[in-house]
Amino acid sequence: MSIIINGSAAALPGDPRVSLLDFLREDLHLSGTKKGCNQGACGACTVLVDGQRILSCLALAVQFDGREVTTIEGVGHGNELHPLQQAFIEHDGFQCGYCTPGQICSAIGMAAEAQRGVPSHVSADLSADVILTREELQERMSGNLCRCGAHNGIIDAITMTVAADLAA
């Protein structure tokens, strides 16, 4: 049983109780993914599995045999930041930084969903192409809480990268 983390294979834990989050942080020492509430309410633990954003705190690692996981450590290329990481710096998208890895992984997954036309709760027309207005971004990112005051910076950073990309 093995799992691919940021392009490298790793053996899954023997104890099925280990969450994907604890596996990443405690076993693989990839501490970029954060443990906030540990009950699926805050989004700090968001990672990408086969390109889809999920909550690693509610995921048992053993369920992800053979799957590809991308964490915040794997979104850039070497020393080159992911455009969203750069945008978070430019737009003050963080203060304490604890929600940031989850916000960025979530935004990457959100962009892919929007690209393939997944509607949201605030989409007036379920079948129309997605236009990532501020209202759409706020709804689509509502699973990631920021409690220190950077929310508007986060939405600005995503708007300048993801929404601009989609519009192009």
Q: What phi and psi values does residue 59 have, to the nearest 5 degrees?
A: -110, 130
Contact criterion met (CB below 8 Å) for 81 and 18: no
- Does 76 engage in binding with another protein (CB under 8 A)? no
Residues shown for the chain: 168
Q: Considering the complex, what minimum distance in angstroms separates the CB of residue 82 from another protein?
A: 18
Residues 8-27 that bind another protein (CB under 8 A): 16-17, 19
- Does 111 engage in binding with another protein (CB under 8 A)? no
Look up residue 89 and give its amino acid: I
- Does 36 engage in binding with another protein (CB under 8 A)? no
| Sole binder of another protein in the list 4, 10, 62, 81 (CB under 8 A) | 62
Q: Which is nearer to another protein, 89 or 118 (CB)?
A: 118
Contact criterion met (CB below 8 Å) for 40 and 55: yes
- Does 85 engage in binding with another protein (CB under 8 A)? no
- Does 118 engage in binding with another protein (CB under 8 A)? yes
Number of residues that bind another protein (CB under 8 A): 37
Residues 125-164 that bind another protein (CB under 8 A): 126-127, 138-140, 142-144
Q: Which two tokens stand for residue 108?
A: 């990457």
Q: CA-to-CA distance for 159 and 154, rounded, in angstroms?
A: 8
Q: Considering the complex, what minimum distance in angstroms separates the CB of residue 145 from another protein?
A: 8
**Where on the chain is the footprint of another protein (CB under 8 A)?**
16-17, 19, 38-40, 43, 46, 52-55, 58-60, 62-63, 65, 106, 109-110, 113, 116-121, 123, 126-127, 138-140, 142-144
